[in-house]
Each structure stands twice: as C-alpha cells, then as structure tokens.
Structure 1
C-alpha cells in the first residue's frame, strides 16, 4: 500500500484501503479533465459574451488549449460540457438536441473534433424532468438518452439531480441510466450526484452507489472562494467514515471542481486544494479559463509529483487524523 502523510491548516491525513466501484472497466484512477460550470456557469448570450458563452466555439478552443499547452500530456483527458448546452425542446423523435445557434454542428461534430485531438468528451444531463437550469431532463427517456450519447461519441456523463419528484424516482433513475449506458456497448464514464440529493431524504448506501456510478458528488457546488473550499474539506472529513470505505479503483468520491487559476483563492489556498484533492483521490476536473491562466497556477495543476499521488493505481483515499485549530 502506498500511503501519504500530509499536514496543513485543514489537518493531517493518511491513506487507508478503499472499496471497489462500478465494474465497467473505467475510472481505474480518478478522472482528470476540464468542466465548464464554475467558471462559465449558464452564460448563453453569445452576442454579449462571445468568448464566454456556452458554445461549440468555447469547447473547441478549450480542446485546442488542452493539447497545445500540455494539459493532455499532464493527464487531463476529459473535456466536459455542463448544463445549458441543450435546446429548449427535444426533437420530433424525442431525442435530445443541442442549441442550434450555439452548437451549429451538433454534439457529434464536437465529439469528433475533441477525439481527433486525443481527448475525451463529457456531457451533462439530469435524472429529473428538467435540468437545474430548466432544460429537458432525462426522466422517462433514460434508455433513449443513453443511446443518443453513445451515438454522438460521448465518453463521460455527468448526471445531475434536479426536478426528480420522489426519492424512489431519484434512485431508480440513477440505477436505470447506469444500466442503460452499459447496454449501449460504449465506454461512458458515469458521474452521478445521487448522494448529494438523496442525503436530504435518507441515509446513503454507498455500497449501492458504487455499484452503479464511477464517481459521485456528495456536497453542493463548489464556488471560487476559500469559504466554499473549506466547507467541502470539513464536510468530507465529517463523513470520512462512510466515504473512504466506498472509494477505490472504478468509483470515487467527488468533492467537485478544482477552481485553481480563477480569482477567488490565494496562492496558498490553491496549493491546499490541489494537495487535498490529490490526497483524497478525487477527480481532478478543473473549471477555469485555459486561454488565460496564471503561469504559476498552471504549473501547480500540471505538477506531476502531486498528480502521481492522485493517480496511484491502488486508489487509496486520504483520511484526516486530526484538525489543527
């Protein structure tokens, strides 16, 4: 077993054995990549904000940056679309469709562009009737949507949990989408938010969650601030008895995005997030603007010694021993 001892203001951690995740052969180490949400949110007005709106152009530019600026070489493979990519209605065959103005070539064209550069494409959907931003959700269409994603060449699905109805519908939806993705025959990493939403209604069975998901969110969306980051760290530590045992190759606790390279964290706070996310065997999904990132933040995110801790094939999540006040 490879173990790490690290002491920071947040506390001291060491490594303990983890569990096994979804047996689809994916995510044997925590996934690494880029996700648009925290930095770009749901900006859809390309007239007012052409360089920052959720569009085909934004993701193609980020794909180019990931290759030319060393991100792919450093291990960041997934380029992920979050909410607000959709058209407001399904097509005449009830299939999902991208907003035709912002994604004129459709998602298949974008997937081909990303794959041609050696990257993998992630996409967002919701277990409920509508996404958190109000676009069409997957409830009632799990099998159709899974096949649509496979047909487009999607490699990762982030599955949110807004507008789901009852706890039974929520949990059934997460199970059904997992099964549907596997039945397509395409390798699609499944990132679910089951514990985040179900925790409000019931005690989480992490053994079951890990049977269906490759990673799972436990907490609210992270924000670009030390207050938010500290909340996630403390919440993780308060539940570590449940969380550490559930994680391991194939299934990971996801404390949400890396906000390194934005505006809200000091240098020491950026170092703290990178260190702790690596020790916790968390997915390393950046949300920043790769076209304009501080060179020091870039070097931190690409530090191979730190990434090696996160990508250790044993998949051992760090555990806080004590908190230094």
Structure 2
C-alpha cells in the first residue's frame, strides 16, 4: 500500500476531480446482494446461486419485462464471484464452476442485450464475504475490469485499514480512468467514516466516486426501510449539498418485490428513494416478481421524479408520525411532495394542509397524484389539499406552476 500511496502523491496534481461524464442521473439497474446474498451451492440451487446463469437470466428479464425500456440499464455482479486465487499473471479470475465461461463472456452477454455490466471488489485483502481482495493489485484489477468490459465498479471497504481510505479510493479511481474505459465508480467511503466516527470529506468523496454508500445495509423489512428514511432526514454533515449529477448519496438497494414489505410499505420505500434522487438498484427476482410490485417499479411518474435532471435530494419539512418531504423538480418552481404516515396499525389518517405549507406559495399550480396519476386540478397557495394515508403508507403528488 505504501508504494500506491507514494504513486498517488506524485500524480495527485493530475487528478483534479472526477469528471468522467457518467451518472448524470441516478443509476438504475439490478444488483444481486440483498436477495441472493452469497449462495454458492449451484448443485442444490442452480437457479439462485451466484453464477453466470443467474445474471444472464436477470439480463433477459430486464429486457423482456420492460425494465430496460424504463431506464434500468446495469446488471451488477456483487461479492462471492472470484476464484480463491489469482492467475499466474496476478489477475483476478472467476470461480470456474459457477462462471465456466468467465467474466468477459458474461459481460459480453449482458452487453448483447443492450445493457451495462457492473462488478464488485474490495479495497482490502479480502472482500466482505472473505473472497480475494484488491489490496496491492489496484492497477492490475482496474485494467482487468476494463478488459472484461465493466461499465461500473463497486469498490467495498472490508478488511482494510480505515486510515487508508482517503488514499485507496482516489488511487483506484485514477487507475480506472487511466484504462480509458468509462466506468462508474461507487464506494462506501463516507460509510466507513461514519463507522469510525470520522467527519467525512465530502468534497474529496465527490471528486473520487460517482455514488457512495453512507448508512447501514438495507434489509427486507419495514424497520430497515423506515430506519434509513429517518436517518436520511438528518442530512448528516450537509451531505445533500454534495448530491447531484455525477455524484449521488446512496441509501442502498430497492427490495420491492421480495418478502418483507406490505404493498403500502413498498410504495413508501420506492417513493422515498425517488424523492431522495437515489440510485435505483433492484435487489429482487425479476423472473418471478408479482405484477403489483413490477408496476410500482415501472411507474413513469415516480421514475421521472427520481431521474429529474436537477438531481436535487429531497428534504423533510416535517418529521414525526406524519413526515412531509419535498423535492424541487423541473419545470422551474415545481415540486414533488411525499407524505408518509409512519404509525403501524390502526386506521388511516386524513391530512389537510394548505398548499403554502409545502412551500408552494407562488401563483397557481397544477397538481397530479403520483401513484395512480389522478388529476387533482389547479390550486393556489391557500387551497387546502385533503387526502388519506394508510398506516406505514404514503401519498405523493407533484405541483407544477400554471403559466
């Protein structure tokens, strides 16, 4: 690592900022981790193990089920893919039983579907699941990923010294850029800072990474989802100021279509990730997803909020049992509004606020309910907007100025 640090020091004047022209809107795609974890028994579970068949199936499903047309582009291969040892040239190689044709062939297949390929590695000696890491091999691994045709690299932080993070991630980004292949770079640098109780250097993080994990891994449960939402409301070290085209705070994957959330809770989860302008990385089984969850993930009005070119992270204007969040969107002067009722159990509540409560106090606005697309008509700042919200549910609308 010392050699890499010295190399980075000598080249640091050349690396002014991360300006790779990528991730100008939040990245959309599919990632295997939360649903499939590190299942490597392909003999017992041939359809669900971390092997080439799973990722080819998901690429097929993304295309066939309309997800590609909706903007979901990336297929991300997470942890547990490497063989136990590097090859004779020191290059990473895939587990030969689970990836018999190699990673290059898998990337080629995904590209043949008009999709993009992402891969996982770790800054430390080992990955989080205990597989071989990239420490001392950053340049070799960056070139390997480029040679394989990767379009995104997720670089984790397990089994590495916290003091090396501020060197290691910029070094890896330098080597990725040096390959000449455009690759989104995603890292958990501020997440490690939070764990270590270190103030994050968000300007440096944004110069280095296209998106970055900050908080805990998501689980398939309401407690996990609402926990992330509540934490996001704190705007830790003003993290929203560094969020926008080219660099994104990442609250982790989308678990809609799995086992742990009710229909209303799925709406909260996906709706709030759209309010956050968060990366939308699905962690589910697209081969068997139910029609209700599928329709939610393909909702054009929600995706338009998430992919709004302004890229502004929504913020709360009220917390408590009834949370109110707003997000500026285009055209200028417009907002997306989300009202979340966090209470579990009991009856729905009726929400009645004048439009100016949401910060909409200039002239007339045309309102549209987001989930079903109901036209709510034209209103001014004094108009009282009334609607119901179910327990652990959400109501969303957009307000656009009337010229």
2:277 equivalent to 1:277: no
Deviation per CA, 1:191-227, whole angstroms, max 9, x where unpaired? 1111111222211011110000000000121000001
Matched residue, 1:175: 170
How far residue 240 of structure 1 moved from its aligned partner, in angstroms, is 4.8
Q: Unpaired segments of 5 or more residues in structure 1? A: 1-20
What are the within-5 Å matches in structure 2 for residues 1-325 of structure 1?
22-165=18-161, 167-201=162-196, 202-240=198-236, 242-325=238-321
Whose radius of gyration is greater, 1 or 2? 2
User: Would you say the 8 A contact 1:89–1:135 is kept in 2?
Assistant: no
Bigger relative contact order, structure 1 or 2, given CA contacts below 8 A and separation 6+? 1
Q: Aligned with 2:195: secondary structure? A: coil
- Cα distance in 2, alignment partners of residues 321 and 144 from structure 1: 48
Deviation per CA, 1:163-215, whole angstroms, max 9, x where unpaired? 002x2222211111111111110010001111111222211011110000000
Aligned residues: 304
- Cα distance in 1, alignment partners of residues 317 and 156 from structure 2: 32
Matched residue, 2:4: none
- Structure 1 consecutive aligned stretches of length 4 or more whose deviation exceeds 3 Å: none
User: Would you say the 8 A contact 1:217–1:254 is kept in 2?
Assistant: yes
- Cα distance in 2, alignment partners of residues 194 and 240 from structure 1: 14
- Cα distance in 1, alignment partners of residues 195 and 36 from structure 2: 28
- Cα distance in 2, alignment partners of residues 295 and 173 from structure 1: 43
Deviation per CA, 1:249-268, whole angstroms, max 9, x where unpaired? 00000000000000000011
Q: Unpaired segments of 5 or more residues in structure 2? A: 1-16, 322-403
How far residue 134 of structure 1 moved from its aligned partner, in angstroms, is 0.7
- Cα distance in 2, alignment partners of residues 220 and 146 from structure 1: 27
How far residue 303 of structure 1 moved from its aligned partner, in angstroms, is 0.4
Q: Report which of the two has the higher share of strand.
A: 2
User: Would you say the 8 A contact 1:128–1:170 is kept in 2?
Assistant: no
RMSD: 1.0
User: Would you say the 8 A contact 1:206–1:242 is kept in 2?
Assistant: no
